[in-house]
A and B are shown apart, each in its own frame.
Chain A
Amino acid sequence: MTVTVRIPTPLRNYAEGAAEVEVSAPTVGDALGEVVTRFPKLRQHLYDDGGKLRNFVNAYLNEDDVRGLSGPATPTRDGDAITLVPSIAGGAATATPADLSNDEIRRYSRHLIMPEVGLEGQRRIRDARVLMIGAGGLGSPLGLYLAAAGVGTIGIVDFDVVDETNLQRQVLHGQKDVGRAKLDSARERIQDVNPYVRVEPFEVRLTSENALDILRDYDVVVDGTDNFPTRYLVNDACVLLGKPNVYGSIFRFEGQLSVFWAEKGPCYRCLFREPPPPGLVPSCAEGGVLGVLPGIVGSLQALETLKLILDTGDAMIGRLLLFDALTMKFRELKLRKDPNCPVCGPNPTVTHLIDYEEFCGIPQAEAEEKAEVPEIGPRELKERLDRGDPIRIIDVREPHEWDIANLGQYDVRQIPLGRMTERMHELSSADEIVLYCRSGVRSAKALRQLRESGFRKLLNLRGGILGWQEQVDPSMPRY
């Protein structure tokens, strides 16, 4: 039986443009099956997942709807024509309690008009629970954008207090917040941006004892920490709980971004098996950070978080983004899952949270510093200098720090820490030497270097120039 199947205009693209197709088949159902075999792209538009003709696709045999005949089993005769006729149906979504209110629809309209988000996506954002570790430089843009985008529940872990040195980059907090808990000002600001957001505050230090309980209730964890013990703790807890960890880090002019999700790709330990020795990688407090940088990296973290919630686009899983603000270059590294990873590998040796301070060598380093470096207090140093004691003072900071604050009223020699080895010949081991930096960390390192070279009459200014400001000269600026 040769019959003609007429393809309606909207489906011709999937039938190589054909308006009519001649097939040989004993029934209407067979004829349509034949057409779909010839043009496989037609299938999803004509048949549902169960293989039945879609209810808005009507087959007419000559002038009659086959539903009024014997359906797909209706026999065909030579010369018959089968016409596919659309039904057009649709309608507004039925209102359910989980629907967005009219006010919310207005607020999120720029999301809703994007097909990639739409009502369904916005509901997913609203139902999402995101945990921010830290409400500082990275957490600031992150919290603001997640709130503005409509993330329904934002947990924040932070126990810090707003300090004036934070305001150069931590845009969640303002001048009036100095001295307040960061959690309080963050919550206030987020509620102001979007009152539909619920903030769940955790005013604690994240530890091995509480991490699993805090992280467990969230869908996505965003790491905005500034120290290695917490970073490894967050990573391991996410691996153990199977959560995605949106990682960002910043230093001076450089930023990093990735999504660590052990179920789908590598974790932080696959990238960095072990932390660097304490003191090798300076923190932002020691090395500085350009104020805009956390704004960029934290915003990228917010973006990745939304993509994970919407399940759209290519997440940064298995990829590490390196951003250099000075050259304005983004580079990307592919990351591989480490088959020997101690946490997410097939034979893990870390199956519960450990002591991360210990793992990162912090207690040992602190003990070393405390035990071995002889110190002098700011007041005592001032008294001795005023008495005219012959003390050689060395400023080990970077040259540009001198202009901010210094002890230039005395005879001070500037030797930056990084050049101490090559310039120590300028010093005499017979002199009594006092070293200082901003807070006392770098000068302690310099002291150890000098001691290893045979110097013995060495003292470290306790608390650095900040200590001097506190105890001797409150008129000096702090930085």
Chain B
Amino acid sequence: MEGGKTDVLLLAESHLGPILRDCAQGYPEEVCGVLVGRVHDGGVRLVEDVIPLRNERDEERTHRYLIGPDEFRRAEAEATAQSREILGFYHSHPDHPALPSSFDKEHAWPWYAYVIVPVQTGVAGRPRAWRLADDRSRFRQIRIAREDDVALESATQPEGTA
């Protein structure tokens, strides 16, 4: 399940752009949102919609974010209505690199893609995507591809036949 060619998050410019703008505008606070889309047969995740959400933290908003269960359910219901599912989340790291913190790891769910956007003094940098290892011991980086980087046809081949 872990690693390999299936760990790809397809994120078109049309979706990445708004994420970066959202993260830059929210500076110096952390910004968060949901990535919605479909998982293709080979495990490639294609992001089809991005839902920005309010950071529900009352305190420490410059280095903490929270999407509570009610917001999560609302987002999930919206995705389900469009025959999509939640693929993962994005959040910003104001003045910190796009590396998962130990706090990120402690609170992470497996399977989901966690996109981290570094924002240095208000300018969004290159995002990185991560996925929690099965044993929760660490995050593994997964590839963010633009839509034209990966041919879905080849990526949807079942594993092991290539």
Q: Is the CB of A91 within 8 A of B64?
A: yes
Q: Is the CB of A87 within 8 A of B67?
A: yes
User: How far does the Cβ of A119 sit from chain B's closest Cβ, in whole Å?
Assistant: 6
Q: Does A118 reach chain B (CB closer than 8 Å)? A: yes
Q: Does A333 reach chain B (CB closer than 8 Å)? A: no
Identify which of residues 140-162 in chain B touch chain A, using a CB-to-CB cut-off of 8 Å.
140-141
B96 partner, pick from A44, A86, A93, beta carbons under 8 A = A93
Q: Is the CB of A113 within 8 A of B69?
A: no
Contact with A along B33-72 (1 / 0, CB 8 A): 0000000000000000000000000001001111111001
B111 partner, pick from A13, A94, A116, A118, beta carbons under 8 A = A13
Known contacts A9-B85, A44-B136; A92/B110 CB under 8 A: no
Known contacts A13-B111, A87-B67; A92/B141 CB under 8 A: no
Residues of chain B contacted by A60 (CB below 8 angstroms): 69, 73
User: How far does the Cβ of B20 sit from chain A's closest Cβ, in whole Å?
Assistant: 17
Which secondary structure dominates where chain A touches chain B? mixed
Residues of chain B contacted by A92 (CB below 8 angstroms): 30, 63, 93-96, 101
B110 partner, pick from A11, A65, A88, A115, beta carbons under 8 A = A11
Cβ-closest chain A residue relative to B120: A102
Known contacts A85-B72, A105-B97, A113-B99; A10/B66 CB under 8 A: no
Q: Is the CB of B65 within 8 A of A115?
A: no
Cβ-closest chain B residue relative to A85: B69
Residues of chain A contacted by B128 (CB below 8 angstroms): 113
User: How far does the Cβ of B113 sit from chain A's closest Cβ, in whole Å?
Assistant: 10
Give the distance in Å from the alpha carbon of A452 to the alpha carbon of B32 in the complex.
88
Q: Does A359 reach chain B (CB closer than 8 Å)? A: no
Identify which of residues 14-50 in chain A touch chain B, using a CB-to-CB cut-off of 8 Å.
14, 44-45
Q: Is the CB of B111 within 8 A of A90?
A: no
Known contacts A60-B69, A91-B63, A93-B96; A13/B110 CB under 8 A: yes
Known contacts A9-B85, A87-B67; A115/B30 CB under 8 A: no
Q: Is the CB of A119 within 8 A of B99?
A: yes
Residues of chain A contacted by B107 (CB below 8 angstroms): 56, 87-90
Give the distance in Å from the alpha carbon of A119 to the alpha carbon of B139 in the complex.
12
Q: Is the CB of B136 within 8 A of A93?
A: no
Residues of chain A contacted by B19 (CB below 8 angstroms): none
Residues of chain B contacted by A45 (CB below 8 angstroms): 109-110, 136
Interface residues of A, count at CB 8 A = 31
Residues of chain A contacted by B112 (CB below 8 angstroms): 10
Interface residues of B, count at CB 8 A = 44
User: How far does the Cβ of B105 sit from chain A's closest Cβ, in whole Å?
Assistant: 8
Q: Is the CB of A115 within 8 A of B138?
A: yes
Chain A CB within 10 Å — which of B85, B109, B111, B141 has the most? B109
Known contacts A93-B102, A119-B99; A85/B73 CB under 8 A: yes
Identify which of residues 73-98 in chain B touch chain A, using a CB-to-CB cut-off of 8 Å.
73, 85-86, 89, 91, 93-97
Give the distance in Å from the alpha carbon of A85 to the alpha carbon of B70 in the complex.
8
Residues of chain B contacted by A10 (CB below 8 angstroms): 109-112
Q: Is the CB of A86 within 8 A of B30?
A: no
Give the distance in Å from the alpha carbon of A56 to the alpha carbon of B132 in the complex.
15
B101 partner, pick from A14, A65, A93, A116, beta carbons under 8 A = A93
Known contacts A113-B141, A118-B99, A119-B99; A89/B66 CB under 8 A: yes
Give the distance in Å from the alpha carbon of A112 to the alpha carbon of B71 in the complex.
33
Residues of chain B contacted by A44 (CB below 8 angstroms): 135-136
Cβ-closest chain B residue relative to A65: B69
Give the distance in Å from the alpha carbon of A234 to the alpha carbon of B134 in the complex.
42
Chain A CB within 10 Å — which of B69, B111, B112 has the most? B69
Residues of chain B contacted by A188 (CB below 8 angstroms): none
Cβ-closest chain B residue relative to A63: B73
Cβ-closest chain A residue relative to B91: A90
Cβ-closest chain A residue relative to B101: A93
Cβ-closest chain B residue relative to A41: B134
Contact with B along A60-90 (1 / 0, CB 8 A): 1000010000000000000000000111111
Q: Does B127 reach chain A (CB closer than 8 Å)? A: no
Known contacts A112-B97, A113-B141; A120/B89 CB under 8 A: no
Q: Is the CB of B109 within 8 A of A91?
A: no
Q: Does A58 reach chain B (CB closer than 8 Å)? A: yes
Residues of chain A contacted by B94 (CB below 8 angstroms): 92
B104 partner, pick from A8, A86, A90, A112, beta carbons under 8 A = A90
Q: Is the CB of A90 within 8 A of B135?
A: no
Q: Is the CB of A87 within 8 A of B68?
A: yes
Q: Is the CB of B101 within 8 A of A90?
A: yes
Q: Is the CB of B141 within 8 A of A91?
A: no
Give the distance in Å from the alpha carbon of A93 to the alpha carbon of B63 in the complex.
7
User: How far does the Cβ of B118 sit from chain A's closest Cβ, in whole Å?
Assistant: 9
Residues of chain A contacted by B99 (CB below 8 angstroms): 112-113, 118-119
Give the distance in Å from the alpha carbon of A65 to the alpha carbon of B130 in the complex.
29
Q: Is the CB of B111 within 8 A of A91?
A: no
Give the distance in Å from the alpha carbon of A120 to the alpha carbon of B1 in the complex.
26
Q: A86-B109, A87-B69 are in contact. List 5 more A-B contacts (CB 8 A).
A: A11-B109, A88-B89, A88-B109, A90-B65, A92-B96
8 contacts between A and B (CB under 8 A): A10-B111, A11-B109, A85-B72, A87-B69, A90-B101, A92-B95, A113-B99, A119-B97
- Interface residues of chain B, those whose CB is within 8 Å of chain A, are 1, 30, 32, 60, 63-69, 72-73, 85-86, 89, 91, 93-97, 99-104, 107-112, 114, 128, 130, 134-136, 138-141
- In the A-B complex, the 10 residue pairs with the smallest Cβ-Cβ separation, listed nearest first, are A10-B111, A92-B96, A93-B101, A90-B104, A91-B64, A88-B67, A92-B93, A58-B69, A85-B69, A89-B107
